[in-house]
Structure 1
Amino acid sequence: MGSYVVRILKSELWNFKNVKHGVVKYMNYGCVQKYGEIQKKDIVGIYGQNGSGKTALVESLDILKHILLGTEISYDEYAGIISEENDTQLATLFLLEKDNLKYRIEYKVTLRTNKKDEKIDIIEERLNYWNRGSSWKSERDIYFKNPYYDNDDILANADLSIQSKHMKYFKNIKFLNSMSVLAAVSAQGHISVLFNNKAIASLKAQATEENWSDEEQIALYDILNGLQYFSRAHFHIIKVSQLGDINKNKLIPLNMHYETETSVIQGCIPLFINGQGEVPLSIYDLFESAIKAVNIAIKAIIPNLQIELEKKTELEKEDGKKYVQVDVYSKRNGKRFLTKFESEGIKRIISLLSYLVSAYNQPSVCLVVDELDAGIYEYLLGELLGELQKEMKGQLIFTSHNLRVLEKLDYKNIICSTINPKNRYINLTGVGANNNNRDFYIKSLTIGGQKEELYDDEDLDSIGYAFRRAGNPEKKNVNLHLSKEILEKIKEEKE
């Protein structure tokens, strides 16, 4: 199970939040398409003006993670940005490796907000995959539209069959030939039909019963189980909501990923405002080891800082599970104090560091961070990303506003969000070998030269006018120094 390595190669969005259509190709897209292997360090930063689709990409990946896990998509979080009328679609291209096997996988899902039930419906799913020999070959496709969402007279009219150009290859796969119960359970739980614990368990049980030799059964099991395992153990999304918890001094979300030869711990352990956190007793020894690993890394970033745990007590909760209560301290220059008193930037680094270490060392890890630069000193951030680009084995996808990073990464590592909702993401073009990427980006903002506009400066001239009007909202005739353009705007407003 631990031998799965997954890499995200491409994301495509339709009718999602403020993105009518957008495509992001990550660093190894071309290498995998042509050569079937990962060849490049996989860091991609998304840059653009506020409201231009950066966070939308992170949110789409978070939704993907929930789908692959076989869990429900949060209505409270995403109802406002998943379309009710024009179906939202998300497509992702993956590379999956297991031992000597390689699969290129494209998964496309159609979503719709269901206001009546206050749920997000997974309407349609399409899975295409190819295995690797001397080239990508043997395409297989599976398409299923769940009729339980749209059909009131389900018993009379429901089409519960899998659609495929290659159905003859799936004739021995039991769950694909009996979809009625699975479709109903999936619709009731608002979860994926394919990335579904029942479907994967059915494949596993069939393997045990029949001692599999069918390559199609093995391939489908590896794909469904491998992507679900990737989402559970190695696909980490840090959304901007964590910043609010840090900034309010409410808690420090300690994002942990730590692997040994026999186990993986990953997840977010909240260290609350009093510095105390609760760690499951079953993983406490691994948690201590993970903190030791963080301390090794943190020395190079923040000299003289170390994190210390103080075990307070053990407790058993109503569900019978045992936890260890710990206080978390910072120790610097011989002084020891609760970590809650650190600056927001240091708490942010502590929060992210275990995930960054895991992405640096583990090719199976994909880390997605919204607003990576928040609270972190720009020079330090640039140096940190520069080092990650040299040796990182995993994948890092981040959004940022800090332009210092552009001086440390190659322009090919940068995706620009645009003001065109029908073409939200582009790569910089025309960058010369001697160009400073930061200066080139700013030049592109101000005078253009890219395939799409990166910044909407149409209303910049009216900022002063708007501020003056806001300062005198009730006064109709204000003696202000106005430009010719502003006077024309006023005239248009009156008309």
Structure 2
Amino acid sequence: MKSCVRITNISIRNFKNVNHGELSFINGRKNFKASVLGLYGQNGSGKTALIDALELLKYALCAFEIPEQFADYVSVDSDHSELTYSFDVTLDETVYPVMYQLILTREQVQEGGNSESAAEEQTKCKPKLSVEVLKCQTKTSGGKLRMGKIIDTGSSTVFAPKSKYDLLVGKDRDTSTDLLVAKKLSQKTGKSFLFSNDILTAIRNHYIGNDDVNDEEQEERKYYLAIMESLVKFGNTELFVIKTANSGLISLNAQPLAFKIRGKETGSLGVVAVPIEEPSVIPEKTFHVMEAVIRNMNIVLEKIVPGLTIAIKNLGNQLMQNGDIGIRIELVSKKNSREIPLKYESEGIKKIISILQLLVVVYNQKSITVAIDELDSGLFEYLLGELLRIISEKGKGQLIFTSHNLRPLETIDRGFVAFTTTNPENRYIRLTNVKENNNLRDFYYRDIVLGEQEDAVYDLTNNAEIALAFREAGESIGS
């Protein structure tokens, strides 16, 4: 069954500095194939919180252990964060609305010191998905469709409602016991239970060869399983979240390459960080993947930066620490028939290289979602605006990004742009009263000064106070 998943909406509560914020990723103005959302706003106003929320979604859909820092993302004024994601899931050309909600809590755990002294025990917090809820279209007794709960892990049983549990998993006691243990283990280790292999396997096993239910119930179970499997596939192979740590690797003389490619028989995806300060050794399989990624990337790179391509030089085989044969490589850039080590290129060029293959995939594939924090970092503003114009007007996939550079406000449809506010209870808005002939960049600047929106988009600063603060700080250090 062919499937395609697209995020349509996100609601965030008590997560980082967002008490409440909601964003629709649907452009209600025009019918574009691509889904683009650029988020703009003042520093510390909730832009990165959106990217972190999407990263949390990826961890949940993949049933990966959630990193410890997410425990600190729960608002200090609350004991839990609540995030709700809405999707359009396409199964064989039919679109179904689906909603996934999670409640993130922090759980204190004790860590022992080097001795038996209780004083050396340290308390730290770990993230926990205490409740997960999946909703999709279900039929009422009258035959009408409505959004209904399929799985709610907030109950003391494996999950509720009981009617859906019996339909999906059955009434076998051993299965119920095994799932209850798996649920407690998932919550203890900070993983999603709803999208765990335990639940999916139980549903598949109950579905296969079960003749105890009628055809209508079999079709209903098949539909729910297809929804869940589509979301798991989306999280594992089609959702990419690129954070500012990606740029940090560049500063540390490592070249990250985020990619998704299809071969004749298989495909590859992931992020590879290649040291560029000096030649490095990589597995042979990774070498061939990187060759294919770079070959594909160069088609676009030499058009974006005229005449520039990159290459991976094979410096010969070398035995790796684990005993496997590796290949010693060096990344180089080529321009005007000359090769130089990639480490001597600008950080802007390295940033383009790190994300370019994903932008190619977003342009060509409807099923891909890429979220990038600070997309503009290191990019020339004119090039940034033109790239986003091309992807938004002619692309097929979904691109979500944050940026400080305002050039894209002049090149992409305003339905693709949202802004943060200074109000933590309403963090995300679309600007109102914008006319067709308004320059959105100028309109935004004017709104910063005049504050014409219902919620202010900028916490105004005073230049005189800033200058005085600089002077006082200088005096305190004896300058």
After the TM superposition, which residues 353-364 of structure 1 pair with which residues of structure 2 at under 5 Å, given as runs? Answer: 353-364=356-367
For 2:409 and 2:336, the matched residues in 1 are separated by 34
Aligned to 1:331: 334
Indicate conservation of the 8 Å contact 1:330/1:337, yes or no: yes
What's the counterpart of residue 189 of structure 1? 189
User: Higher mean Cα deviation, 283-292 or 391-400?
Assistant: 283-292
Rounded Cα–Cα distance in structure 2 between residues aligned with 1:223 and 1:277: 43
Q: CA deviation at 1:466?
A: 2.0
The 5 Å alignment of 1:101-112 reads 101-112=94-105
1:88 matched to 2:92? The reply is no
Q: Which amino acid aligns with 1:168?
A: S
Q: Which residue matches 2:248?
A: 244
Aligned-partner Cα distance in 2 for 1:277–1:408: 41
Q: Is the 8 A contact 1:102 1:131 kept in 2?
A: no
* TM-score, normalised relative to structure 2: 0.87
Q: Which residue of 1 aligns with 2:19?
A: 20
Question: C-alpha separation between the residues in 2 aligned to 1:95 and 1:461?
Answer: 50
2:170 & 2:384 partners in 1: Cα distance? 49
**Offset of 1:470 from its aligned partner?**
2.0
- In the alignment, is residue 172 of structure 1 matched against residue 172 of structure 2? no
Taking the aligned partners of 2:319 and 2:223, their CA distance within structure 1 comes to: 43
TM superposition shift of 1:72: 1.0
**Deviation, structure 1 residue 445:** 0.8
Alignment of 1:121-160 (within 5 A): 121-130=128-137, 137-145=145-153, 159-160=156-157
Aligned counterpart for 1:116 among listed residues 109, 120, 125 = 109
Aligned-pair distance for 1:390? 1.6
Of 208, 218, 221, the match for 2:222: 218
Secondary structure of 2:389's aligned partner: helix
- Counterpart of 1:79 in structure 2 is 71
Paired with 1:342 and 1:457, the residues of 2 have a C-alpha distance of 38
Superposition map of 1:179-328 within 5 A: 179-210=179-210, 214-248=218-252, 250-260=253-263, 262-274=265-277, 276=279, 279-282=282-285, 284-314=287-317, 323-328=326-331
Contact 1:124–1:143 (CA under 8 A) maintained in structure 2: no
Distance 2:232 2:328 in 1: 31
Aligned to 1:154: none
Distance 2:468 2:32 in 1: 53
- Distance (whole Å) between structure 2 residues aligned to residue 383 and residue 314 of structure 1: 42
- 1:189, CA displacement in angstroms? 2.4
Structure 1: which amino acid aligns with 2:411? Answer: K
Amino acid at match of 1:102: V
In the comparison of the two structures, how many residue pairs are matched? 451
User: Is the Cα–Cα contact under 8 Å of residues 67 and 127 in structure 2 kept in the other structure?
Assistant: yes
1:466 equivalent in structure 2: 469
Decide whether the 8 Å contact of 2:276 with 2:330 is kept in 1: no
Residues 47 and 402 in structure 2, CA contact (< 8 A), matched pair in contact too: yes
Q: Distance in 1 between matches of 2:79 and 2:446?
A: 36
CA contact (8 A) 1:195 1:224 kept: yes
Counterparts of 2:224 and 2:72, CA distance in 1: 34
Shift of 1:168: 2.9
**Deviation of residue 47 (structure 1)?**
0.2
| C-alpha distance in structure 2 between counterparts of 1:474 and 1:325, whole Å | 50
Judging changes above 3 Å, is the alpha-carbon distance between structure 1 residues 140 and 88 closer, same or farther for their aligned structure 2 residues?
same
Residue 162 of structure 1 corresponds to: 159
C-alpha contact (below 8 Å) 1:22/1:423 kept by paired residues: yes
1:310-361 deviation digits (Å, cap 9, x = unpaired): 2234567676776544321111101111111110000000111000000000
| 1:28/1:40 contact within 8 Å kept | no
- Once residues 61 and 160 of structure 1 are traced to their aligned partners in structure 2, the CA distance between those partners, rounded to angstroms, is 29
- Inter-partner Cα distance in structure 2 for 1:298 and 1:53: 32
Q: Which amino acid aligns with 1:434?
A: N
In structure 1, C-alpha distance between the alignment counterparts of 2:365 and 2:144, rounded to whole Å = 25
Matches within 5 A, 1:45-84: 45-75=38-68, 77-83=69-75
Q: 1:66–1:73: 8 Å Cα contact kept in structure 2?
A: yes
Deviation per residue, 1:281-333 (Å, 9 max, x gap): 34644432221110101111011111112223456767677654432111110
Q: Measure the CA separation in 1 of the matches of 2:171 and 2:406.
A: 50
Are the structure 2 counterparts of residues 88 and 326 from structure 1 closer, same or farther at C-alpha, using a change threshold of 3 Å?
same
Q: Give the secondary-structure state (helix, strand or coil) at the position aligned to 1:187.
A: helix
Residues of 1 paired with 2:210 and 2:332: CA distance? 55
Q: Which residue of 2 aligns with 1:388?
A: 391
Alpha carbon RMSD of aligned pairs, Å? Answer: 2.7
**Structure 2 spans left out of the alignment, 5+ residues:** 111-124
CA shift at 1:392, angstroms? Answer: 0.7
Matches within 5 A, 1:372-451: 372-451=375-454
Shift in Å at residue 364 of structure 1? 0.7
Q: 1:458 to 1:291 in 2, by over 3 A?
A: closer
Counterpart AA for 2:149 = D
Give the Cα–Cα distance (whole angstroms) in 2 for the partners of residues 142 and 60 of structure 1: 23
What is the letter of the counterpart of residue 190 of structure 1? Answer: G
Q: Which has the higher contact order (CA 8 A, sep 6+)?
A: 2
TM, length-normalised to structure 1: 0.84
Structure 1 SS opposite 2:149: strand
